[in-house]
Amino acid sequence: MSAEGLASLISKLEEILEGGDADTLITFLSSLSPYEFLEILERLDIGKRSKIISHVPLVNLKPILNKLPEDMVFELFRVRGIDDMIKVLIEMPSDEVADFLLKVPPKFRSKLMNLFPHWKMSEVSTLLKYPGECVGSVMTPQIPVFINRLTVADAIKEYIAKSELGLYDKHFYIYVVDDKGKLSGWIDVKSFISQGRNKLLKDIASKPPVVVNVRTDREEAAKIAVKYDLLEIPVVDDDGKLLGAVTLDDVLDVVIHEYTEDLLKFGGFTQAIKGRYLSANPITIVKGRFLPLVYLYLMNTITGGIVTAFTDVIERVAVLAAFLPMLADNSGNVGAQASTFIIRSLAVGEVGPHDILRVLKREVIISLALIALLSPISFAIGSSITYITYKSIEASLGVGLVVSIALIVSTLVADLVGVLLPLILSRIGVDPATVSAPLLTTIGDVITATTYFSVATLLLAFI
């Protein structure tokens, strides 16, 4: 929806709320799509949200319930109550219910689970027992599964009956298993329906290009789906028994979640901020940003200590201080660029920890090429500003040389640190996205200040 269209809807809604006509409000809310409703909710204060939630038909919210942030979920239960919520949740796919329950306050969660029908609770409990980062937590068990000895005619009859009852989640394949429930193969829905009715399922099923274990990391499953261009992936246990499938919508949710988490880590957040930005509690955001900033502030005292140690050099040639920010920013930018490339390549599977020597060799070449382009520029800037300040060719050439050497060393080191840190962390099993841009900038500042003033001290006789 366009910004103008959304603003128009919000304006109209506020007019209806001011008018106080409940019937008009219900009619208006019923006309909204679930995603329009979510966009509006995020932009209203708590008072107006509560009035709206008390009137909106809950059935309209099914597609977005598991996308609501935790504070809105709590508000939903507070206003509508458990009895209204259970009616909607029973009709939702089990994997979406499991996602939703993780956001529900504990005092409501246990009551809800006691109200589910046995079959629904069994499916949801199965998903909830898996850790949040593994495939089992996002798979759907509501897929069409048939014994391999069935004929196509019998399978189609059962398939249609269960589809009409709404027992299947969105799917693209029919799954075939043996008598022990082990996956034998799959058939895409179109081929399944068009097959000869007397054929046996085992004769027409094909082997999936890949399956994933229920404990596989969900990010890895998303990479597999992209690599093999799959709409869904079968999920099995250690014995090969079919448990469910990771469908396209699950894969997209995982990709977006992991991308958001990695982006926040790279921005310096120590923990992910749950929910959407507009609806997130400002206090929560402050907590997420404060500690990393304090840590980086303390880290930057190292740079300050280095500068302090060279005050005698700065006092003799004060113009040296003017170039430190430029050099520090350059090394930080170089390190951030390099780490971004590597983290992205690790995320999509283009490189791995085993490629560390190839990456190192390649990055040295890239660094030297960048240095060849940047060092003449830094020399020209350094010498020009110094000449304008001191009117001395010797001083300008000396400072230009110091700036260039510092740039060469800091660029090379920052670039190599930027690529090596993510690879090393990945090798030892740590998320490479924890190599944040602020951390790289701080490392670059330390490297640059040390190199810059050390070189200045050594060449002081020429300045």
In the prediction, which pLDDT does 145 show?
Answer: 95
Alpha carbon distances (Å) from 318 to 4, 322, 393: 54, 8, 16
pLDDT for residue 141? 87
CB neighbour burial string for 100-110, b if at least 16 within 10 angstroms, e if fewer: bbebbeeebbe
Give the separation between CA 407 and CA 325, rounded to whole angstroms. Answer: 12
If you search the block for the tokens 């060849």, which residue do you land on?
A: 372
Q: With helix as H, strand as E and coil as C, how does the chain read?
A: CCHHHHHHHHHHHHHHHHHCCHHHHHHHHHHCCHHHHHHHHHCCCHHHHHHHHCCCCHHHHHHHHHHCCHHHHHHHHHHHHHHHHHHHHCCCCHHHHHHHHCCCCHHHHHHHHHHCCHHHHHHHHHHHCCCCCEHHHCCECCCCEEECCCEHHHHHHHHHHHHHCCCCCCCCEEEEECCCCEEEEEEEHHHHHHCCCCCEHHHHCECCCCCEECCCEHHHHHHHHHHHCCCEEEEECCCCEEEEEEEHHHHHHHHHHHHHHHHHHHCCCCCCCCCCCCCCCHHHHHHHHHHHHHHHHHHHHHHHHHHHHCHHHHHHCCCHHHHHHHHHHHHHHHHHHHHHHHHHHHHCCCCCHHHHHHHHHHHHHHHHHHHHHHHHHHHHHHHHHHHHHHCCHHHHHHHHHHHHHHHHHHHHHHHHHHHHHHHHHHHCCCCHHHCCHHHHHHHHHHHHHHHHHHHHHHCHHHC
* Torsion over CA: 276, 280, 286, 290 (sign): negative
d(CA 201, CA 257) in angstroms, rounded, equals 37
455 close to 406: Cβ distance less than 8 angstroms = yes
Looking at residue 435, its pLDDT comes to 58
| Beta strand 232-236 pairing with 145-147 | unpaired
Yes or no: say if 114 and 157 are a contact pair by the CB < 8 Å rule: no
Both tokens of 222, joined, read: 């998303």
pLDDT beneath 50: ranges in the chain: none
pLDDT of residue 273: 54
Distance (Å, rounded) from C-alpha 142 to C-alpha 98?
Answer: 13
Encoded tokens for 66: 């598991």
Q: Which residues pair with 206 in a beta bridge?
A: 186
Query: What is the spatial distance between Cα 46 and Cα 123, in angstroms, rounded to a whole number?
Result: 34
**Distance from C-alpha of 436 to C-alpha of 422, rounded to nearest angstrom:** 10
Return the amino acid letter for 31: S
Q: Which two tokens stand for residue 336?
A: 């951030």
User: How high is the pLDDT of residue 268?
Assistant: 54
Residues 156-202 pLDDT 10s: 999 999 888 888 888 899 999 999 999 999 999 989 988 999 999 99
Token pair recorded at residue 456:
């200045």
What distance in Å separates the CA atoms of residue 330 and residue 407, rounded to the nearest whole number?
8
Cα gap 320→205, rounded to integer Å: 73
Nearest alpha-carbon partner for 250 in 197, 171, 362, 178: 171
Encoding tokens for residue 431? 């998320």
Q: How far is CA 185 from the centre of its chain?
A: 32
CATH numbers and ranges of domains, the chain: 3-131 (1.25.60.10), 145-247 (3.10.580.10), 282-462 (1.10.357.20)
Measured distance CA(279)–CA(19) in Å, rounded:
26
- pLDDT for residue 365: 93
Q: What is the pLDDT of residue 184?
A: 93
Task: Assess contact for 450 and 329: CB atoms under 8 A.
Answer: no
For 364, phi then psi, to 5°, come to -60, -45
Least Cα distance to 148 among 216, 77, 201 occurs for: 201
The reported pLDDT for the residue numbered 461 is 55
